[in-house]
Amino acid sequence: MTRAEAQSPSSTSKEPRTERGRRTLRRLLDAAAIEFGEKGFHEASITGITSRAGTALGTFYTYFDSKDEIFRALVQDLSNRVRVTAGQALVGEMSPLETERRALSAFLSFAREHKEIYRIIDESEFVDPASYRSHYESTARRILERLHRGAKQGAFREGLREEHAWAIMGMNVFLGLRYSIWSEGESVDEVAELANSILREGIAAG
Residues that bind a second copy (CB under 8 A): 40, 42, 97, 119, 122-123, 125-126, 133, 136, 140, 147, 150-151, 154-158, 160-161, 163-164, 166-175, 177-179, 182, 186, 191, 194-195, 197-206
Of 89 and 195, CB closest to a second copy: 195
Sign of CA dihedral 190, 196, 197, 202: positive
CB of 175 to a second copy, least distance (A): 6
What is the enclosing helix (H) or strand (E) of 62? helix 57-63
The amino acid occupying position 143 is I
- For residues 147 and 200, give the distance between their C-alpha atoms in angstroms, rounded to a whole number: 13
Of 23 and 200, CB closest to a second copy: 200
Phi, psi of 185 (to 5 degrees): -70, -25
b (16+ CB within 10 A) / e for 3-38: ebbebbbebeeeebeeeeeeebbebbbbbbbbbbbe
Task: Say whether 157 sits in a helix, a strand or coil.
Answer: coil
The amino acid occupying position 90 is L
Of 16 and 167, CB closest to a second copy: 167
CB of 10 to a second copy, least distance (A): 24
CB of 19 to a second copy, least distance (A): 37
Of 22 and 42, CB closest to a second copy: 42
CB of 169 to a second copy, least distance (A): 6
Of 113 and 201, CB closest to a second copy: 201
Of 50 and 139, CB closest to a second copy: 139
CB of 26 to a second copy, least distance (A): 27
CB of 124 to a second copy, least distance (A): 11
Task: Say whether 9 sits in a helix, a strand or coil.
Answer: coil
- For residues 110 and 173, give the distance between their C-alpha atoms in angstroms, rounded to a whole number: 12
